[in-house]
Amino acid sequence: MIQYSIRCDDGHRFESWFQSATAFDKLHAAGMVTCAVCGSSDVQKDLMAPRVNARSKDDTAPQPKADLSAPASPAEQALRELRRKVEASSEYVGRDFAREARAMHEGEQDHRPIWGEARGDEAKKLINDGVPVVPLPFRPTRKTN
């Protein structure tokens, strides 16, 4: 196992463990390494100090470890709550989002709350055509680390 410090294009920094350096390279090339904060797949290994085990003469009590699954900031808590509400009150339609949203807008399907994925050009076309859509600040669960 190897631990890397990783930084996204927005400057968010986080650490993650990988089976090997080769495993990281394969996952990174496939776009499977994403920022833990914003979900961006535009990430790079960051500089980090080597881990050195040194004997300490200081007999201080060990610090309690933080719960890494808990949100680290109010922003992360708000994003987690937003994700929970969206997933609970709407249907995930995946890559069919643009088609489904357009069909509802044009009256070909009954209106219902949906969320999913759209390429940039699809999203622009929906907006230009007056289809009411908004980007969500998170990625589908299947695309997170």
Per-residue pLDDT tens over the stretch 62-90: 777 767 777 678 888 898 899 999 999 99
Per-residue pLDDT tens over the stretch 92-118: 999 999 999 999 999 999 999 999 999
**CA 59 vs CA 51, 55, 56, 110: distances in Å:** 20, 11, 8, 67
Q: What is the pTM of this model?
A: 0.51
Instruction: Assign 127 a pLDDT band (cuts: 50, 70, 90).
Output: very high
> Which SS3 state, helix, strand or coil, does residue 58 take?
coil
- In this structure, the chain runs to a length of 145
Instruction: Assign 58 a pLDDT band (cuts: 50, 70, 90).
Output: low
Rounded CA gap, 44 and 28, in Å? 9
Q: Mean pLDDT over all residues of the chain?
A: 87
pLDDT of residue 35: 87
110: its two tokens? 């009954």
- Lowest-confidence segment of 44-48, 52-56, 71-75, 78-82 by average pLDDT: 52-56
